[in-house]
Amino acid sequence: MDFLRDLFSRTLGIGTPEKVLDELSLEGVGRFLLSGKSAGIPDFRSPGSGLYANLQKYNLPYPEAIFEIGFFKQNPEPFFALARELYPGQFKPTICHYFIKLMKEKGLLLRCYTQNIDTLERVAGLTTDDLVEAHGTFHTSHCIGTFCGEEYQLPWMKEKIFSDLIPKCDKCNSLVKPDIVFFGESLPSRFFSALKSDFQKVDLLIVMGTSLQVQPFASLVGKVPSKTPRLLINKEKTGEGDSFFGLLGLGGGMDFDSDKAYRDVAWLGTCDDGCLALADFLGWKVCAALLWLKNIRYNIIV
């Protein structure tokens, strides 16, 4: 019945979903949080700066091949060459990562769903239970031998990669692959189990730094209850509704600008700036900055 009620409400204008934000702005989201009602790496697709734009040197048949499991099994060298550039430890968490950690410390974080594979959320202090790493992680690796599956930890893989060695299993000599999701592989089972339990009880959804182009991750914005506010912090608006899918009741995406908009807020800018703006409104800005500074090492000459 709830599904039908939401469907008719969205598509036919019968009834109005409950509006819980007093204003469709970052400040409105901040007041919602305060009211007590709520419980430097290149990306893949940004024009000119995305990862795909930097792969020409590997002489791939097409850019996506470097992340295809079939290509990897036949020719793993390009992936591990790229892995040396992107490997955890080469980059450090940002203000955004520590803002998420701060939400955990404030008792507000139900879960962090991430498409990133760099483990920076873990470096910032989130635990395995806090995270759903939808596209996998470098944190662990497994042998892909048919009858093996031996697990390896981050230090083992790091030693192999930075020794210019193709990681091979100590037991069976098959390839060892970091536990990131390649094209042609299924998402981790945790993604689906956590999705079922988390998204029915979420009070606020914050979406940061994503194109919302890759399924099934992109569809998550439509999984929350109809009254749940959704805040997008991004350089441009994304995830906006498709009227056809909305008519079918398949989520319908976000609605920032129409006359029927009632819960979606877009804050345009970098993730760090957006998190600092929200932290400032909440009175957390100093806490977020201190968390970040505490974990950054500077080399200064005075």
Judge whether 114 is annotated as a binding position: no
Judge whether 96 is annotated as a binding position: no
Judge whether 43 is annotated as a binding position: yes
Of 277, 40, 28, 268, nearest to 289 by C-alpha is 277
Report the C-alpha gap between 268 and 238 in whole angstroms.
Answer: 10
pLDDT tens sequence across 30-67: 666 555 443 255 555 555 555 556 666 777 888 788 88
pLDDT tens sequence across 98-114: 899 989 988 999 999 99
Would you call 135 a catalytic residue per the annotation? yes
Q: What pLDDT sits at residue 37?
A: 40
pTM of the full structure: 0.75
Residue among 97, 135, 139, 142 flagged as catalytic: 135
Report the C-alpha gap between 240 and 221 in whole angstroms.
Answer: 10
- Cβ atoms within 10 A of the Cβ of 24, count? 20
pLDDT tens sequence across 73-102: 999 988 888 888 777 666 788 888 989 998
Confidence band of 14 (pLDDT split at 50, 70, 90): very low
> Are 63 and 52 in contact, with CB atoms under 8 Å apart?
yes
Report the C-alpha gap between 253 and 244 in whole angstroms.
Answer: 11
Judge whether 44 is annotated as a binding position: yes
Beta-carbon contacts of 104 under 8 Å, excluding residues fewer than 6 positions away, are 125, 126, 130
Judge whether 271 is annotated as a binding position: yes
For tokens 């100093």, name the residue.
286
pLDDT tens sequence across 221-272: 989 998 899 999 998 998 886 545 544 445 558 889 888 888 999 999 988 8
pLDDT tens sequence across 146-167: 899 999 998 999 899 888 889 9
DSSP 156-219: HHHHHHHTT---B-TTT--BEEEEE--BTSPPPHHHHHHHHHHTTS-S-EEEES----STTGGG
Judge whether 54 is annotated as a binding position: no
- Is residue 177 over pLDDT 60? yes
Strand partners, 152: 141
Judge whether 198 is annotated as a binding position: no
Share of the chain above pLDDT 90, in %: 27
Judge whether 164 is annotated as a binding position: no
